[in-house]
Structure 1
Amino acid sequence: MREIFNFTVIILCILYFLSMFLNPQLIIQSTTKSAIIWWEKVLPSLFPYFLVINVLIESKLISCLSNIFFLLSKKIFKLSSNGFLAMIIGMLTGYPIGSKMVCNLYSQKLISKNEAVRLLYFVNNSGPLFIIGTVGINLLGSKKYGYMLFFAHILASLIIAFCTSRLAQSEIPSASTPYKLLNFDIGKVLSKSVKDSVESILIIGGFITLFFNLNNVLEYFKIYHSICSLFRFTGADATLIKGLLYGLFEITNGSVQINTNSLPVWQKLIASELIISWGGLSVHFQTISFLSAAGLQSFHYIIGKLIQCALAAAIICVFLIISPL
């Protein structure tokens, strides 16, 4: 499996390299556009979250804050209060903050390795602003559809969290020990928090540019067109296949491709849910870079995203049966 993956990456790198010579303007325009998206959309929305989370963790203030959730997290999900707080933040903020927070908590020894691994199955989620605002209102033209997508996405995550809690070891985490709120060096905390946040946001920007360019390279070499032609014999709509292929690599491009074409609404909803719950290879590579730095493996994270895709799409189908469009 690793050999197949490595071979695929090598082929993509060769195509990327060739496109720089055959059509350098394509790469320049694509890189410029991705940098603008990163500067205008990603940096303002993610950097404050990274900074606040890093300050909370570095100063140990998160241990005090998370004790509020201790009883709820212990009884329902068998998580420590810190782990439960990471789960809530991951559901409310968006990719890749949930996984980044787990890595930070594990590196600071605020959660165990077993709990970190279990959190990776369900902690990394798309944010409500993107699902309801961007996909629901802007692309689908309906707040109702946005809420349907969001609730299916989060419900799938909660189901995974509950199911993994049944398989968790019998040990029940205890509440964090009290911590003196002012017992930290504010200079060191802010310095390290800013440094880590800047590093994280730059990594994200690099991956956004990489996969934004990659989508354009695959389009330029007619790879997407060839794959869509292969699926033509199955009767699947070429537009739908192309949108899902875009979503395989990057969530925003995939969502735009699906929802700006003349597909039936039910197909748009199911395809959008698959793309949103998958998150895209762009998000996954960002997450894997954080996991590698923390000494955690990516296997459980990828499996969790695949399960969430299937569950969320199934929940959307149930919604459509209960309340037809």
Structure 2
Amino acid sequence: MQIWGRGRRYRSRLLAYFMAFSAVFITVSMVTYPKDAFDSAIQGLNLWWNVVFPSLLPFFILSEILMGLGVVHFIGVLLEPLMRPIFNVPGIGAFAMSMGLASGYPMDAVITCKFRKNQMCTAVEAERLLSFTNTADPLFMFGAVAVGMFGMPELGAAIALAHYLSSFLVGVIFRFHGRSRDSYNKEVIPKGNILARAFRALYRARQEDKRSPGQLLGDSVKSSMNTILLIGGFIILFSVFLRILSVLGITDITAIISSAALGLIGFSPNLSSAVVSGFF
């Protein structure tokens, strides 16, 4: 135990040193290459403002309103008999899954986080949810990938089918994840009309919320704006980070190494740049 404790302290110390060095390194690089840092920040800002902001903000606001009105609780009771046997998650997981399918990343992660904060699911159930609800939206697959990247609109259906089926299979596999840590109380599902129980859950959730419609709308907009601003900050930060790595040649070196590794497993070395960008 003493050796294990020393090992943990050693790793913690190394991580602290690495984080501090990385922060200093990025800061010095931004000062050394100010134009590249500025241009990449503008690119990240344009991506956030022109694509992410208008596509995600309405969904964020609507999800907050639906949760405040008790609609999510209604869906949870209604779909519990379906979601629990297949994915071992509460019925509210269907709401996260449907919103993720409609709007793509990172809508499902945001909703799952809110479920966890509101004690609507356990930590293990949240992990299971994230494993299969983190999907791309249809517009991205049919438009950006099939048309924009491949120039073949007919590939859209095949790409979407493969993407969603793989997510479904991951969810089925991950239903066994964290069973030793699962605190879900495996009670028998209450008998009675499931629709009536769903409406009672909706009414009970609305009564517990106690916010007026105007306050609910205002809180939803405020919370959604905070979330979308946080996402924008990450987009700009990592846009600058990737450009700095590219300017310093670190991306090229990593791409050479990854291209050799891709060749060994039968993939095209031309994919190395995409792999490296996705990794960072």
Counterpart AA for 1:171: K
Cα pair distance change 1:232/1:103, threshold 3 Å = closer
CA RMSD of the aligned region, Å? Answer: 2.8
In the alignment, is the contact (CA less than 8 A) between 2:258 and 2:276 conserved in 1? Answer: no
Higher relative contact order (CA 8 A, sep 6+): 2
In the alignment, is the contact (CA less than 8 A) between 1:80 and 1:173 conserved in 2? Answer: no
SS in 1 for 2:131: coil
Report whether the alignment pairs 1:45 with 2:72.
no
Provide the residue aligned with 1:94 in structure 2: 104
TM-score (normalised: structure 2): 0.77
Q: For residues 46 and 88 of structure 1, what CA distance do their matches in structure 2 show?
A: 14
Gaps of 5+ in 2: 1-10, 190-196
Q: Give runs of aligned pairs for residues 215-294 of structure 1, distance below 5 A.
A: 215-231=242-258, 236=263, 239-249=270-280
Cα pair distance change 1:106/1:232, threshold 3 Å = closer
Q: For residues 153 and 18 of structure 2, what CA distance do their matches in structure 1 show?
A: 39
Cα pair distance change 1:54/1:216, threshold 3 Å = same
Q: For residues 242 and 5 of structure 1, what CA distance do their matches in structure 2 show?
A: 27
Cα pair distance change 1:18/1:204, threshold 3 Å = same
Report whether the alignment pairs 1:207 with 2:234.
yes
Report whether the alignment pairs 1:69 with 2:93.
no
For each residue in 1:242-272, what CA deviation from the matched residue of structure 2 results, as whole angstroms up to 9, or x when unmatched? Answer: 22111223xxxxxxxxxxxxxxxxxxxxxxx
Provide the residue aligned with 1:179 in structure 2: 202
Cα pair distance change 1:173/1:159, threshold 3 Å = farther
In the alignment, is the contact (CA less than 8 A) between 1:136 and 1:142 conserved in 2? Answer: yes
For each residue in 1:19-77, what CA deviation from the matched residue of structure 2 results, as whole angstroms up to 9, or x when unmatched? Answer: 32222111111111211111110000010111000111123222124444333224433
Q: Identical aligned pairs, as a percentage?
A: 25
Q: For residues 234 and 179 of structure 1, what CA distance do their matches in structure 2 show?
A: 53
Deviation at 1:233, TM superposition (A): 5.3
Report whether the alignment pairs 1:144 with 2:167.
no
In the alignment, is the contact (CA less than 8 A) between 1:136 and 1:146 conserved in 2? Answer: yes
Q: For residues 153 and 173 of structure 1, what CA distance do their matches in structure 2 show?
A: 34
For each residue in 1:66-101, what CA deviation from the matched residue of structure 2 results, as whole angstroms up to 9, or x when unmatched? Answer: 444333224433332212222232233211111111
Equivalent pairs, count: 249
Deviation at 1:229, TM superposition (A): 3.4
Q: For residues 232 and 118 of structure 1, what CA distance do their matches in structure 2 show?
A: 33
Counterpart AA for 1:219: S
Cα pair distance change 1:104/1:182, threshold 3 Å = closer
